[in-house]
Structure 1
């Protein structure tokens, strides 16, 4: 995982705001991936420079539950949710992103299987 300074992040955002494409800015700045820049832009759009440079905090279990429920209810990506709640997100490698997506899809699949089984049971019992 590459660490980027606050100055680097601000410079990259300013380049995009001047009309450069994200991929062009990433290439100029020798970034191996555009994902971090996309996250920075999302944070910037939701709260400006202060949110972009927001430092890690500890979050209560209630806050975490609220964030997860909001994400599911509004069908948001992790980046969109993190930006909405001003949560800085560690930059994941491509493999970590795929693992995280796979985990979420398995959870959703398990939930749908349980729902389907419940619906079958209700039909069998004559409930509708």
Structure 2
């Protein structure tokens, strides 16, 4: 279960987009980490409000591999890649990369 509700995330995104304040000020007012708010806003701008509510989704090995290839081809960070694909947590891409490069049986 997510620490923040989907409605809270959406409210935070709208507060940033409509308020004219920076990430840090809005995040401080809402008591969330500013990098988390930045990730929510980026995901919302690329994929809409439903990108904020995808907990527990499973991805195929082919999809994971395509995400990693896109990230390397376009020289994106984990956070940028997660926002591009509408993935909730950029750390998950790092896990996929470690699995892929280690050749683990659970690799993407």
Structure 1: tracts of 5 or more residues without a match: 93-99, 108-128
Structure 2: tracts of 5 or more residues without a match: 102-108
Q: TM-score, normalised by structure 1?
A: 0.64
Deviations 1:35-92 (A, max 9, x none): 11011011101111111223331111111111101000001111221122222217x6
Deviations 1:9-46 (A, max 9, x none): 11111111112211011111122x21110110111011
1:27-106, aligned counterparts within 5 Å? 27-31=28-32, 33-89=33-89
RMSD: 2.3
Q: TM-score, normalised by structure 2?
A: 0.74
Cα distance in 1 between the residues matched to 2:22 and 2:86: 24
Cα distance in 1 between the residues matched to 2:44 and 2:26: 16
Deviations 1:80-110 (A, max 9, x none): 21122222217x6xxxxxxx6xx98xx8xxx
How many aligned residue pairs are there?
93
Moved over 3 A (4+): none
